Amino acid sequence: MEYRFVKKTPFKVVGFLENTHTNERGVFIPNDNHFTKEQFRQSLEQLLNTRVDNLLHVAVNKTEQSVDSYIGIETTAICPPSLVKLKIPEQTWAVFEIGSLSPRIINKTWYDLFIYWFPVHGYELANNIEFFREMKERHKYELWIPVIKNKSY
* Euclidean distance between CA atoms 61 and 92, whole angstroms: 19
Please report, for the chain, the start and end positions of each structural domain, with discontinuous segments joined by +. 3-149
pLDDT score at 33: 61
Residue 97 pairs with which residues in a beta bridge?
142
Note the pLDDT tens digit of each residue in 80-134. 888 899 999 999 999 999 988 888 999 999 999 999 999 999 999 998 899 999 8
Q: Are 6 and 97 in contact (CB under 8 A)?
A: no
Note the pLDDT tens digit of each residue in 7-49. 999 999 998 888 887 777 778 888 666 657 778 888 888 888 8
Class level of CATH domain 3-149: alpha beta
SS (H, E, C) 112-146: HHHHHHHHHHCEEECCCCEEEEEECCCCEEEEEEE
